[in-house]
A and B are shown apart, each in its own frame.
Chain A
Amino acid sequence: MRLLSACLSFSLRNLAQHKIRSLAATAGITFALFLIFLQWGLLDGAKRQITAFYDYFDYDIVVLDDAYQFMFTAEPFDRIRLMQAQALESVEKTFAINFALGIWEDNASHLRSTLMLFGVDPDSGLILEPSISEGLKSLHGQRNILIDALSHSDFGSLTPGTRALINGQEVQISSHFRLGLFFYAEGAALVDNTAFSRLAQRSARDTSFGMIRLKEGADPWVEREKLARLLPGDVIALTKEELLGKENSYFVNVKPLGIIFTAGVSISFVTATVILFQVISTSIATRLREYATLRAMGFGFGFVFGSAAIQAFTLSSCAFAGAAVISAALFGYIFQLTNLPLALTRELIILVLGMTQVMCLAISFATLRDLSRMHPADLY
């Protein structure tokens, strides 16, 4: 035990002695790790944004058209399917949401922009997002809409009371919600389903997404199977998890930004590996003479290896902390500018920390292997 503490204090003192060297080494790893955090954050943030709308509601299972790929191309199906679904014991409530692409025309500038139009059933407790549930209450009159406050500036003024055209029909903004999906369209608006059928010129029986909430204790996966068997083949049933996964995978595998962000993550991991390797092995190599002296003095390989490992751990942990701090600072800034919710998820932290420490061990071992073969007498 005394040996361990001796090893620890030697290693740390050695690091502190060469302050600038240690600092430079740490800085290198810090930015390599930061790059991972950034790229991962972008990908993760984008994925979360993609499914942001789906998170505004409380449901366990969703019924969709069987040709569903991603939200943007959701085909409507007949509302009767939702009613048929209610035959299932475990179904507590159902809720229909409609989606269509539309054209928004600003009255002042006459600029036309692409619009995502959502229609929802009256709130029966399945709407989690307060701005939507509150906003729906104030939808008096057929012309009122909720507008996505993050819609593109081409939409013109978004203050409540402003009038505009959706698909050529007059509407009036009554309140805001936030979505910000700039990947697919320039803005979004939300109305109740009656208004939706009028604005989108669709049948009142249309449903794009059939949300189902199950009773307490019901297992979504089990019920999903039951529903799939119960309902005819022109619709499919997915659990909420499956839906989000599907949406994400489409984005990541098909959409160019998704591919780019994913590539960014891979590249940052490769880079970090190279940088980590380079920094740690250089750091050890410059101390080889000291380590050899230790061996000459009689310390075993374990001591030397432990010392190198401790130093590597210390450097990389400091770097990790630094990268986390920089990320925390920058992510807020990026969010303000792009509305992408970048965050350091727990899984990312564990993954990166684990990977880093394992690599430190491996690199220390590999670099020192030569030392163990080296005879201390060769120093002189």
Chain B
Amino acid sequence: MGIGFLIIWHSKERLLFSVAGIAMAVAIMFLEQGFYYAVLDSQARITPLINGELVVVHRDRTHLNKWNSLERAQIHRVAALRGVERVIPVYKINARLYNEDADRQRRVLVYAFPADAMPLKIGDPDEVLSRLRLARTVLFDRRSRDIYGQLQPGTDLEIDGAMYRFDGFVDIGPDLVSDGALVMSEGTLFERHPSISPVMAVLQLVENADPASVRERMMESFTNIMVMTPSALAAREMHFIKHSAPIGIIFGIGMVAGLVIGVVVCYQVLFNQIIDLLPQYATLTAMGFSQVFIARLVVEQALLMCLTGYVVAVPVVWYLFTLLADHTRMVMALDLDRGLFVFGLTVFIGVLAALLALQTALRANPADLY
């Protein structure tokens, strides 16, 4: 084939326009998809950080923004089960952080855990734990949103009215609701909140232990908990967000709009071009080329334009994602699956536009050439 390429290559201006228009449509689809997944990924953000094979949460805690908590005593009982090497409770509360530099009080999430094991992969274990072991020391999530002002390790921070030493950073990342996070040791937290219960517990299993069977045993022994693998937890989080917040609708409509724009632009270019070349298309029919041949010609042109638009859009989208991720501190990721999905939509755009424009090309009556 190649005729299709030659045809569209010949009118460079038109090609430029069409590629630009389609690239925009593709970019829109990517962005809407990106926003959608940003919300989902950020909701489950903590799960890839979990440093264990299983996680225990209260059964009623249907999603990670809920506050149902486990009983402290339960933690010890869970630890006694066969296959479990270590149980690390994780506490979570909201606090108010006052930073002199910003002269503001800001709401912040506080994570706490015993300073002898890392339930979350938030930094170098030795460094993090050694720092946390010091009394009244906190670490700050450097991926928090920019509203907390400049924080200098070694200075003091005021949290809920009490002073703490700020000793360094960790890497977590905020979600849709909270803007930032701090980490302190269990002991430090107990000073202000002696009767607080953990919101979840991370289980590290002994070598060769089978997570599935440990999980079963645990669920049988304790009725008010849920035990799952981190990836199962992530899936549950995403499922929850998908069904509670109407983000699917919001971004879905945007995506459809992008799709329609792509179809209309592609169709428009094809149509105009076919009209301009109508005698030539009629000539092809006169010469005896089949309808299939002409159809393939049109589809080829459409796909070439669309694929070029896609290729142009990808680096632009990549750049935009980086910008947005930086700005919002949400996870804006472009992976192969999502890229392929939009690619599929792009092909669909081309084929649909081609089918619509085909009518005109086929209707070119060779008898009218005379």
Contact = CB atoms under 8 A, between A and B. Distances in A.
Question: In the complex, A touching B, CB below 8 Å?
Answer: yes
Interface of A: 20-21, 24-25, 27-28, 31-32, 34-35, 38-39, 42, 67, 69, 72-73, 75, 101, 103, 109-114, 152, 154, 182-184, 186, 254, 256-257, 259-260, 263-264, 267-268, 270-271, 274-275, 277-279, 281-282, 285-286, 330, 334, 337-338, 340
Contact of A274 (B20, B39, B249, B329): B20
Secondary structure class of chain A's binding surface, majority of residues: helix
A254 B249 contact: no
Interface string B1-24: 000000000000110011011001
Nearest to A260: B35
Contacts of A182: 244-245
A31 B68 CA distance: 46
A31 B257 contact: yes
Contacts of B39: 256-257
Contact of A35 (B38, B258, B324): B258
Given A259-B327, A330-B253, A109 B60 contact: yes
Contacts of A101: 94
B272 interface: yes
Given A28-B265, A35-B28, A111-B60, A286 B94 contact: no
B104 interface: yes
Given A38-B254, A67-B105, A72-B107, A254 B24 contact: no
B66 A112 contact: yes
Bin the interface of chain B by size: 35 or more
Interface of B: 13-14, 17-18, 20-21, 24-25, 27-28, 31-32, 35, 38-39, 42, 60, 62, 65-68, 94, 96, 98, 103-107, 145, 147, 176-177, 179, 244-246, 249-250, 253-254, 257-258, 260-261, 264-265, 267-269, 271-272, 275-276, 320, 324, 327-330, 360
B329 A281 contact: no
Given A21-B272, A183-B177, A282-B268, 20 more contacts: A20-B360, A24-B268, A24-B271, A28-B21, A28-B265, A31-B257, A38-B254, A69-B147, A73-B96, A75-B96, A112-B68, A186-B65, A254-B145, A256-B330, A259-B324, A278-B18, A279-B268, A282-B272, A286-B276, A337-B246
Chain B interface main SS type: helix
Contact of B107 (A21, A73, A279, A340): A73
A316 to B, nearest CB: 14
Given A152-B244, A282-B14, A275 B24 contact: yes
